[in-house]
Amino acid sequence: MATMSFREALNAALDEEMARDPKVFLMGEEVGQYQGAYKVSQGLLEKYGEDRVVDTPITELSFAGVGVGAAMLGLRPVIEMMTFNFAILALDQIINNAAKMRLMSGGQYTVPIVFRGPNGPAHMLGAQHSQATENWFCNVPGLKVVAPSTPNDGKGLLKAAIRDDDPVIFLEAELMYNMKGEVSDAADYVLPLGKCHVKREGTDVTIISFSKGIHHALGAAEELAKVGVSAEVVDLRTLRPLDMEGIARSVKKTNRVVTVEEGWPYGGIGAEIAYRIQHDLFDYLDAPVTRVTGLDVPMPYAENLEELVLPTPRDVILAVNSVLYRS
């Protein structure tokens, strides 16, 4: 195992896939000469040249469309969004073309494209640059949505996303790029899409999260262990499709569930999970599913107000105490 930052692990995944398959190319704003706004594409232009590391104008709709067309013709584009807040400008191509082309062509076309980049709350970047967009994309049939929480998962899942024949939304938490962790040094390390992962075993309550929320969950689980509460932390990894079999195994073991996400509560990922659990696993529950989310407001710029909006490990602990009927 090698120790890498999250950005280094993503860079390694891109490098390995571009070396393995000449049909893979990277396109986006500042991915070439500047080597990526967050330096995920560092060194790739020098190694693979301008034909495969393509700098674009600031026109998300246009280069997303170029990517969709290239994918339909057999290439495997990786489209970097400088931030997924800007992907809003490309939603027509992502939702109306990438997600629907296989169906609308009767299976004559596939769209093996990855849209990747930073997502979710950053730090003091204000309301227009701190949105968690995952539930928007999860609402769209035809898209797969991935949100890794560690460098190791980031590498393995990005390689899988690039190889997938369907469009994949690959969401990277903006504040995790410097986070370091162990990464498999296997020659071709690929993690399957659509499978959750138990990050911490437990017996009293299941905490379900993804991306940066996993670290809130793990922090809460560590504190809860000090007072005798055994929390199991389940990392979704892939948000669409959801691994309900993996979730069910944990729920049947603990009988209590808390979901954690940094996005808004209305129509959130936790809401979908709570519905599925109560519909399919109601008889296993000893308490209502409880959700921890960001507050239902646009993100303020001021640091002290931003801290009030975002969930913390303490919020997770309070939610766990609620489902355990502890004061």
Q: What is the number of domains present in the chain?
A: 2
Q: Same structural domain for residues 211 and 135?
A: no
How much is the mean pLDDT over the chain? Answer: 97
Q: Is residue 202 part of a domain?
A: yes
Q: Which has the closest alpha carbon to 209: 141, 290, 270, 279? A: 270
Torsion of CA 149, 98, 110, 268, to 10 degrees: 40
Q: 258 falls in which pLDDT band (50, 70, 90)?
A: very high
Q: Same structural domain for residues 224 and 175?
A: no
Q: Same structural domain for residues 13 and 161?
A: yes
Please report the pLDDT score of residue 128 as a whole number. 93
Q: Is residue 191 part of a domain?
A: no
Q: Same structural domain for residues 71 and 220?
A: no
Q: Which among 183, 205, 233 is the end of a domain?
A: 183
Evaluated on CA atoms 227, 231, 237, 238, the torsion sign reads: negative
Please report the pLDDT score of residue 67 as a whole number. 98
Q: Is residue 315 part of a domain?
A: yes
Q: Is residue 268 part of a domain?
A: yes
Q: Which among 145, 161, 183 is the end of a domain?
A: 183
CATH number, domain of 126, equals 3.40.50.970
Q: 327 falls in which pLDDT band (50, 70, 90)?
A: confident
Please report the pLDDT score of residue 213 as a whole number. 97
Rg (CA), the chain: 20
pLDDT tens digit sequence for 121-130: 989 999 999 9
- Annotated catalytic residue 129: yes
Q: Same structural domain for residues 129 and 253?
A: no
Ranges assigned E (strand) in the chain: 2-5, 24-28, 53-55, 76-80, 114-119, 144-146, 168-173, 180-183, 197-200, 205-209, 231-235, 238-240, 257-260, 290-292
Q: How far apart are CA 148 and CA 232, in angstroms?
A: 18
Which is catalytic among the residues 17, 60, 80, 262? 60
pLDDT tens digit sequence for 146-158: 999 999 999 999 9
pLDDT tens digit sequence for 128-183: 999 999 999 999 999 999 999 999 999 999 999 999 999 999 999 999 999 999 99
In the predicted model, is pLDDT for residue 256 greater than 80?
yes
% of the chain exceeding 90 in pLDDT: 98
Q: Same structural domain for residues 163 and 242?
A: no
Please report the pLDDT score of residue 135 as a whole number. 97
Q: Same structural domain for residues 203 and 302?
A: yes
Q: How far apart are CA 162 and CA 40, in angstroms?
A: 15
Q: Same structural domain for residues 178 and 224?
A: no
Q: 225 falls in which pLDDT band (50, 70, 90)?
A: very high
Q: 304 falls in which pLDDT band (50, 70, 90)?
A: very high
Q: Is residue 95 part of a domain?
A: yes
Asked if residues 262 and 212 have their Cβ atoms less than 8 Å apart, the reply is yes
In the predicted model, is pLDDT for residue 280 greater than 90?
yes
- Annotated catalytic residue 60: yes
Q: Same structural domain for residues 283 and 153?
A: no
The amino acid occupying position 256 is: R
Enclosing domain of residue 143: 2-183
Please report the pLDDT score of residue 63 as a whole number. 98
Per DSSP, the three-state class of 312 is coil
Q: Is residue 188 part of a domain?
A: no
Q: Same structural domain for residues 102 and 167?
A: yes
% of the chain exceeding 70 in pLDDT: 100
In the predicted model, is pLDDT for residue 15 greater than 90?
yes
Per DSSP, the three-state class of 164 is coil
Asked if residues 173 and 188 have their Cβ atoms less than 8 Å apart, the reply is no
Question: Average pLDDT for residues 101-123, to the nearest whole number?
Answer: 96
Which is catalytic among the residues 16, 17, 129, 232? 129
Q: Same structural domain for residues 207 and 164?
A: no
State how beta strands 53-55 and 76-80 pair.
unpaired
Q: What is the largest CA-CA distance in the chain?
A: 61
User: End-to-end alpha-carbon separation of the chain, Å?
Assistant: 42
pLDDT tens digit sequence for 56-65: 999 999 999 9
Q: Is residue 190 part of a domain?
A: no
Q: Same structural domain for residues 178 and 201?
A: no
CATH number, domain of 202, equals 3.40.50.920
Please report the pLDDT score of residue 269 as a whole number. 98
Q: Is residue 55 part of a domain?
A: yes
In the predicted model, is pLDDT for residue 97 greater than 90?
yes
pLDDT tens digit sequence for 28-45: 999 999 999 999 999 999
In the predicted model, is pLDDT for residue 1 greater than 90?
no
